[in-house]
Amino acid sequence: MPKNPPITQPSKKPKIIEGLASRGAALDILRLLRSGLALDEALSVSKTFESLEGADRGFARALVMTVLRRRNTLDEIYAPFLDRPLKPNQHEVRTILRLAAAQIIFLETPPHAAASTAVDLARERRETAGFAKLINALCRRMAEADPERIKALPPRTDTPGWFWRKLERSHGAKAARTIAQVHASEPPLDLTFRTSADRDEWAEKLGAEPVGEVSLRQLDRGRTENIEGYEDGIWWVQDLAATLPARLAGDVAGKRVYDLCAAPGGKTMQLAAAGADVTAVDISPSRMERLTANLQRTNLKATSFICDVLDWQPEDLADVVLLDAPCTATGTVRRHPDLLWSKKEEDAEALAVLQDRMLDHVTAMVAPGGLLIFATCSLLPEEGEERAARFLKTHPEFERVPVTEEDVAGLPVINRDGDLRCTPAVLADKGGMDGFFAARFRKKD
Ligand SMILES: C[S@@+](CC[C@H](N)C(=O)[O-])C[C@H]1O[C@@H](n2cnc3c(N)ncnc32)[C@H](O)[C@@H]1O
């Protein structure tokens, strides 16, 4: 092997010291995820991440997201250069190598900066200090790796086997490949407006692209709070797919609507903006705080209860009950790539039991002739298609009301049964959309 000059830089320039803070924060967040926290929780409790500002903060976040989205690909980058595989418990060394590979291959960081900060991170920690030399050597090899070899890896590389098989079986091989490709990139930001007229007026102002009936798609994100119209509550952040279940309620002006599992309130705001008399129920006090803040900011009204849906017994019957049930959230992997590695196949089975119980419980709340909308942000049929089929079998007092093209602004998101089925493969060339399932049932008179 030809001798290469070392690519670490001996001098500690301020830029690299600053850079070390963002890499240290990324390492900290990835450790918190390993301890069982969800991504949003880890980002909010990490003190090292909190202490970062501006570009450093953005870089730390980009590092974490790249490691989560491209985990197996990153392992493929350095693993061939190891004499023997790392031991399963060598988590910190593995994470430092993944961070370095993410920078060298995907984030266009100069290899010497990726290598020197990886070595410094390793030296700072007792459990990794002895690996500093190895890390340095591997970074040098990675910088010389053939990018074509990485490009040739199949799209399913970064999808866990069980999830890949589910995607292929339920959405087809082509869609599964597209979903995996969409999961690998940063998604756009979607903003929801009260009406399509508002949306059209703001499209030009924000230089954003209209999608669906009332949404704008922003590619250049920055901080959400800095986007014009935020303070005035003109719009709220909501993925295009997440806007569709509430639209299945039709014209809700003056109608009584129960929004169950409502927090942080995306659908509550849509329903309230459409003139419904909304009652929002959710079990989580902290998420309900966010719902209240969202309603205040947008100057919209709803009655709210912090309560387990399974214990909630309202006196009045509703014209519409929307149940946005707890689920694996596998439809939101674009924004929460930690779910790829934290969710397990068996999680859906336990959640399906809860979804059935919730569906059974809320049937009593629907007025004769009223609608029940069941939704989950899942890509798994156990939490969608199969729940709808079971519901219709066990509740002959309800009938399916098929979703129409008009309900979904012409988007190709209606399945063979007439239910809503969104996947990230829809609008893939524009960043896709979240995975969502929704079925609409009417209680017979
Ligand atoms: C998919 S999220 C809801 C998103 C929300 N509908 C929106 O559009 O912003 C599911 C929600 O279910 C709530 N939840 C979970 N179990 C619950 C239960 N037993 N009773 C009430 N809410 C529950 C969670 O706190 C979470 O906020």
Write out the DSSP string of 189-228: EEEEESSHHHHHHHHHHHT-EEETTTEEEESS-S-GGGST
Query: What spacing in Å lies between the alpha carbon of 259 and ligand 1's midpoint?
Result: 10
Identify whether residues 120 and 21 lie together within a single domain.
yes
Atom of ligand 1 nearest to the CA of 322: 6
Identify whether residues 146 and 193 lie together within a single domain.
no
> Does 327 qualify as catalytic in the annotation?
no
Give residue 1's pLDDT.
Answer: 32
Query: What spacing in Å lies between the alpha carbon of 256 and ligand 1's midpoint?
Result: 19
Q: Which residue has the higher pLDDT, 34 or 1?
A: 34
Identify whether residues 376 and 405 lie together within a single domain.
yes
Closest protein CA for atom 16 of ligand 1: 326
Identify whether residues 417 and 346 lie together within a single domain.
yes
> What is the mean predicted confidence (pLDDT) over 288-307?
98
261 is in an annotated binding site: yes
Element (H, E) at 259: strand 256-260
In a domain, 6, yes or no: no
In a domain, 1, yes or no: no
ipTM beyond cut 0.90: yes
Helix/strand/coil (H/E/C) assignment for every residue in 265-316: CHHHHHHHHCCCEEEEEECCHHHHHHHHHHHHHHCCCCEEEECCHHHCCCCC
Domain of residue 110: give its range.
Answer: 14-153
Q: Is the pLDDT of residue 7 over 50?
A: no
In a domain, 206, yes or no: yes
Q: For residue range 172-213, list pLDDT tens digits in order.
A: 999 999 999 999 999 999 999 999 999 999 999 999 999 999
Q: Is the pLDDT of residue 289 over 80?
A: yes
CATH number, domain containing residue 144: 1.10.940.10
Identify whether residues 220 and 338 lie together within a single domain.
no
- Burial state string for 5-30 with b = 16 or more CB within 10 A and e = fewer than 16: eebbeeeeeeebeebbbbbbbbbbbb
Give residue 12's pLDDT.
Answer: 34
Query: What spacing in Å lies between the alpha carbon of 283 and ligand 1's midpoint?
Result: 7
Atom of ligand 1 nearest to the CA of 358: 19
Identify whether residues 149 and 249 lie together within a single domain.
no
In a domain, 406, yes or no: yes
Q: 325: closest CA among 262, 247, 388?
A: 262
Give residue 15's pLDDT.
Answer: 40
> Which residues pair with residue 210 across a beta bridge?
216
Identify whether residues 266 and 350 lie together within a single domain.
yes
Give residue 145's pLDDT.
Answer: 85
Angle between helices 132-143 and 91-101 (to 10 degrees): 30
Q: Is the pLDDT of residue 4 over 60?
A: no
In a domain, 178, yes or no: no
28 is in an annotated binding site: no
Query: What spacing in Å lies between the alpha carbon of 27 and ligand 1's midpoint?
Result: 30
307 is in an annotated binding site: no
Q: Is the pLDDT of residue 6 over 70?
A: no
Name residues contacting ligand 1 (CB within 6 A).
242, 261-267, 282-284, 287, 308-310, 324, 326, 377
Identify whether residues 398 and 278 lie together within a single domain.
yes
422 is in an annotated binding site: no
Identify whether residues 206 and 249 lie together within a single domain.
no
DSSP state of 396: T
Give residue 93's pLDDT.
Answer: 98
Identify whether residues 133 and 205 lie together within a single domain.
no
CATH number, domain containing residue 400: 3.40.50.150
Q: Report, in angstroms and rounded to the nearest whole number, the Rg of the chain calculated over CA atoms.
A: 24
Identify whether residues 255 and 195 lie together within a single domain.
no
Q: What is the mean pLDDT of the chain?
A: 94
263 is in an annotated binding site: yes
Catalytic residue among 139, 307, 327, 377: 377
Burial label for 383, CB within 10 Å (0-12, 13-18, 19+), is buried
Give residue 222's pLDDT.
Answer: 73
In a domain, 158, yes or no: no
Closest protein CA for atom 10 of ligand 1: 326
Number of domains in the chain: 3
Query: What spacing in Å lies between the alpha carbon of 284 and ligand 1's midpoint?
Result: 8
Identify whether residues 101 and 143 lie together within a single domain.
yes
